[in-house]
Amino acid sequence: MEEKDNGLSKSPSFQVENKVDLTTHSLLLSPGPTEIPRELLLSLIKDVRNPDLDPYFYDFYHGIHSKLTRILNSWGYKTIIMLGEAMLGLEASIINLLKENELGIVLSNGFFGEGFYNLFRLVGRKGEKCIWDEREPIPPDEVESCLSEYPEAKAVYMIHCETPTGIMNPIESIGPKINKFGKMLIVDAVSSLLTVPIKGEEYGIDVLIAGSQKALNLPPGLTINLISEKAWNASIENNPKTFYLSYSIWKDFIEKREEMPPYTHSINMLSGLDEALNRFIVESEENVYKRHEKIREASWAAALSLGLEPFPKEMRYSCPGLTALLMPKGISSIEAFNWIRNKYGITLGIGLGKLKDKILRIGHMGYTASIDFLLLAYFAIGNYLIEKGNVKYSDVSQAMEMIMKKSNI
């Protein structure tokens, strides 16, 4: 039986060559999971403590909360860090904020927007969606028309960075419009966290969802939820019939320091998260965001030098943490992925859904938003295109030069 694409499946077609492998390290330049810097690897192997019994665990957890609320300008928010991949947070945001007879709206312009919408049916909640061009951001002026169609909706759900296509949606303009209608706003910021400024209170975000495997440069395994007072109260009132996904099971731990966390947490993953946030703070917000902007600019310049078309129609529409490239006619992104991985040990990303074989993606998130990694990515892509007869060696050299030129500050 042919498997149907439900908007959540992400399986590509991999090919592994049986040959002597001359690489000693397989480099992750995909848009998540990402390469992990040595300092974070070391933080993951610290001595294990028991978070249920350690008297210092509450203060340690609260310290992570303080750093997140500072970075995301969300001072009055609760922080729940769930043990599980970031999809957990998307599902939890629906179950906690909507009763079975309440409606949520999804603003969609891509694969994960559709996936968010499909979750409503899977968890037994009512959902509607408004759809826009997948090569452009959601237009803020059209959001009000969407909301007017569903006045009974309680909450609005959207993706900040559509990772499969590299489109960045302007939550800073959309959020206030949603708040004007009195709706809660839930934002998937999994691929945007720490690549662009996010101001939770100013943008009117009620639940911000992030994961450990993108710009935080950690393994998959943590879901970060920042929850406004309005969303927190709604979740407590709803008291959903679930344990692991419930916000309310964290109430005593968050509000009464003598209580244990609701389940045994991964102290090692939390240590990695704490160190990742420390690295961000030490480098400074301004430098981190500027670095992502410059690497995005360099990536686009290199792509155009090789005759490649980025999927977003304009660079200002694109996520700073990745570049999504349309493959030339007759060239398969899956073939390019396999060729580059087998020849150079570099793992890039491919498209998802209907664009799986048409888009090749470079992740430049957090630690990998750097000149050295970008040079390696375009060297590999350029040599694949030489192999296919699409470019010459001089074109690849020009792409390398453009990266160095555009990366200068």
CATH number at residue 106: 3.40.640.10
Residues 347, 227 share a domain: no
Diameter of the chain measured on Cα atoms = 66
- Same domain? For 251 and 317 the reply is no
pLDDT at 8 over 60: no
pLDDT at 11: 53
Whether the predicted pLDDT of 208 surpasses 70: yes
Span 299-332, pLDDT tens digits: 999 999 999 999 999 999 999 999 999 999 999 9
Token pair 């410059």 is found at 294
H-only helix segments in 2-75: 38-43, 57-71
Tokens of 31: 């848009």
Cα separation, 280 vs 40, in Å, equals 12
- Same-domain pairing of 229 and 254: yes
Mark which of 282, 304, 323 sits at the end of a domain.
Answer: 282
Q: Is residue 26 part of a domain?
A: no
Tens-place pLDDT, residues 224-260: 999 999 999 999 999 999 999 999 999 999 988 777 8
| pTM confidence score | 0.93
The pLDDT value given to residue 48: 79
> Residue 273 and residue 219: Cα distance in Å, rounded?
10
Contact predicate 160/188, CB 8 Å: yes
Domains contained in the chain, number:
2
**E strand or H helix at 359, and its extent?**
strand 359-363
Query: 135: which DSSP letter?
Result: T
In a domain, residue 31? The reply is no
Q: What is the DSSP letter of 138?
A: P
DSSP H helical ranges for 263-357: 267-283, 285-305, 333-344
Those residues whose C-beta lies under 8 Å from the C-beta of residue 284, and which sit 6 or more positions away, are none
Whether residues 265 and 370 fall in one domain: no
Examine residue 33 and say whether the peptide bond preceding it is cis (omega within 30 degrees of 0). Answer: yes
